[in-house]
Amino acid sequence: MDSGNTSVVTPGMIVNGTVRGKGPLLVQGRIDGRVLIEGEVRVAAKAILGAELEADIVEVKGVVKGPIKGRTSVSLDAGAQVEGQIEAPRIEIDPAARVKGRLIMPMQLPRGIKAPTQTRDPWAT
């Protein structure tokens, strides 16, 4: 992330409402509402987002309570805590991160191939 062009929500700052624009955005404080960014969003270790978060690239080290949509990728680093649905073509989760929610990774199958429908749980005994 280029620090020269990065917008920053600094520690101690609280933003209520919608944050919209072009990134990169570094969140070190708190945002409650919606975050809609073209580009990259980084949520620092002590940051808190009680928000819907959508960006091209999302990296989380802090807390997010709300859905996350990464148009390219979502990365949860050690110490990240996420409560909400995560949707992205690529999702990386560090073993020391915590997630309570659903993961959605769109799948592109070759033309003419259909995903099988599952009628029962193959792991059930």
Instruction: Provide the residue-wise pLDDT of the chain in tens; the chain has 125 residues.
Output: 555 689 999 999 999 999 999 989 999 999 999 999 999 999 999 999 999 999 999 999 999 999 999 999 999 999 999 999 999 999 999 999 999 999 999 877 788 777 767 667 767 66
Establish if 42 belongs to a structural domain: yes
Q: What residue numbers bound the domain in which 46 lies?
A: 7-104
pTM score, two decimals?
Answer: 0.84
Establish if 118 belongs to a structural domain: no
Do 97 and 116 contact (CB within 8 A), yes or no?
A: no
Establish if 1 belongs to a structural domain: no
Establish if 39 belongs to a structural domain: yes
Establish if 11 belongs to a structural domain: yes
Establish if 82 belongs to a structural domain: yes
Distance CA 29, CA 45 (A): 10
pLDDT of residue 125: 60
pLDDT of residue 15: 96
* Number of domains, the chain: 1
Establish if 116 belongs to a structural domain: no
